[in-house]
């Protein structure tokens, strides 16, 4: 099988633009972990796109490298690489429809996607649609309103870009008159109450409405200038008592088009976990799973096409990731 791996940040998606340090670091971590997994699989021949500014720091394990030069648009090299591949594994933010577009292109060219398809990305990439869908299926989630239509009582809220990726596109707001006076394009934002509680995430696999939990992870944040910043992760931080597997299964049943690796962000409250968002792609926690569980996640994903994954993990340890 010829597999194209394209991680948007490290793969040239921002060629000709400044590279945000935090996004570049997380992108490289995910890309490296995926390439490491593929290097242990027989019969898989990998091509990888790399931004020329980052290519020296990636161990490619002999993969065919497609270099995106400074200022070069990534799209045509991506399409050409897709055409020479059997399967495509895109890793990209949902913002501005980027991941959805990559998935659509691979499918339109008749290639196997190793991620969720474009329609599942379109749903989970929109935080308001995700809230409505989960609420309809009685899955506990953080209350969400469109900023343009919000009916707010005094208090502290999080304002987020409706399709933003990560926490850089969110802001803690309590001064609504001051915020609204400067807010542009309110239709692009959603509002959520600022729910306090431990931030955790689930790493799992999905297929046709089924789900398999891989790990429960702890997310560590700092807050500066009313914005959260992810500073670290503890992968496989706690043992599931069955409740997180049931939650993941409920999400998969509600969105049966989710496929492959997904991440689910939660806020732990006294009444139980609330779903914050669903990531239909690799997340940073993925980079610690090999060490935490002794498992090759890429191999498990490839197996999903014909069989359920084995959850008999050789290891069970916590892995600390500092960002």
| Residue-wise pLDDT tens digits, 265-279 | 999 999 999 999 999
For residue 108, the surrounding DSSP H or E stretch is: helix 98-108
Is residue 269 within 8 Å of 280, Cβ to Cβ? no
Report residue 15's pLDDT band, with 50, 70 and 90 as the boundaries: very high
Is residue 56 within 8 Å of 50, Cβ to Cβ? no
pLDDT for residue 197 is more than 90: yes
pLDDT, average across residues 112-141: 98
Is residue 2 within 8 Å of 88, Cβ to Cβ? no
pLDDT for residue 292 is more than 80: yes
Report residue 262's pLDDT band, with 50, 70 and 90 as the boundaries: very high
pLDDT, average across residues 131-159: 93
Region of poorest pLDDT, from 36-50, 179-193, 228-242: 179-193
Report residue 158's pLDDT band, with 50, 70 and 90 as the boundaries: very high
pLDDT for residue 288 is more than 90: yes
pLDDT for residue 55 is more than 90: no
Position 154 scores a pLDDT of 86
pLDDT for residue 180 is more than 80: no
Q: How many residues can be counted in the chain?
A: 323
pTM for this prediction: 0.96
How high is the mean pLDDT of the chain? 95
Region of poorest pLDDT, from 2-16, 98-112, 148-162: 148-162
Position 164 scores a pLDDT of 87
Which tokens is 52 given? Answer: 């020329």
Q: Which residue has the higher pLDDT, 16 or 269?
A: 269
pLDDT for residue 21 is more than 90: no
Phi, psi values for residue 200, rounded to 5°: -125, 170
Position 32 scores a pLDDT of 97
pLDDT for residue 2 is more than 80: yes
Position 64 scores a pLDDT of 98
238-269 core/surface letters (b: 16 or more CB in 10 A; e: else): eeeeeebbebbbbbbebbebbbbbbbbbbbee
pLDDT, average across residues 226-233: 94
Greatest Cα pair distance in the chain? 60
Report residue 186's pLDDT band, with 50, 70 and 90 as the boundaries: confident
pLDDT for residue 177 is more than 80: no
Report residue 130's pLDDT band, with 50, 70 and 90 as the boundaries: very high
Q: CA-CA distance, 148 to 168, in Å (whole number)?
A: 21
pLDDT, average across residues 220-230: 93
Domains in the chain with CATH codes: 2-114 (3.40.50.11770), 124-138+197-322 (3.30.470.20), 145-193 (no CATH)
pLDDT for residue 291 is more than 80: yes
Which residues make beta-bridge pairs with 260? Answer: 206
């Amino acid at each position: 099988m010829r597999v194209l791996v394209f991680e948007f940040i490290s793969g040239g998606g921002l060629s000709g633009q400044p590279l945000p340090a935090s996004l570049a670091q997380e992108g490289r971590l995910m890309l490296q972990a995926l390439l490491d997994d593929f290097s242990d699989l027989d019969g898989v021949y990998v091509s990888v796109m790399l931004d020329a500014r980052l290519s020296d720091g990636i161990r490619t394990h002999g993969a065919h490298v497609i270099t995106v030069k400074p200022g070069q648009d990534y799209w045509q090299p991506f399409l050409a690489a897709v055409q020479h591949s059997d399967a495509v594994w895109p890793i990209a933010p949902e913002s501005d429809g980027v991941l959805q577009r990559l998935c659509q292109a691979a499918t339109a060219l008749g290639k196997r996607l190793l991620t969720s398809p474009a329609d599942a990305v379109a749903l989970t990439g929109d935080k308001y649609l995700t809230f409505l869908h989960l609420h309809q299926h009685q899955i506990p989630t953080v209350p969400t309103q469109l900023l343009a239509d919000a009916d707010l009582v005094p208090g502290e809220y999080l304002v987020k870009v409706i399709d933003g990726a990560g926490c850089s596109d969110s802001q803690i707001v309590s001064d609504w008159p001051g915020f609204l006076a400067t807010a542009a394009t309110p239709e692009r934002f959603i509002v959520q109450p600022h729910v306090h509680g431990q931030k955790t995430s689930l790493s799992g696999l999905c297929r046709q409405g089924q789900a398999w939990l891989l790990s429960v992870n702890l997310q560590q944040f700092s807050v500066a200038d009313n914005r959260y910043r992810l500073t670290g992760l503890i992968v496989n931080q706690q043992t599931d008592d069955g409740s997180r597997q049931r939650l993941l299964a409920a999400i998969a049943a509600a969105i049966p088009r989710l496929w492959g690796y997904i991440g689910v962000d939660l806020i732990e409250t006294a009444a139980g976990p609330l779903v914050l968002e669903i990531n239909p792609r690799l997340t940073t926690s993925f980079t610690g799973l090999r060490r935490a569980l002794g498992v090759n996640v890429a191999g498990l994903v490839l197996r999903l096409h014909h069989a359920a994954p084995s959850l008999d993990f050789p290891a069970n340890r916590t892995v600390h990731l500092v960002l």
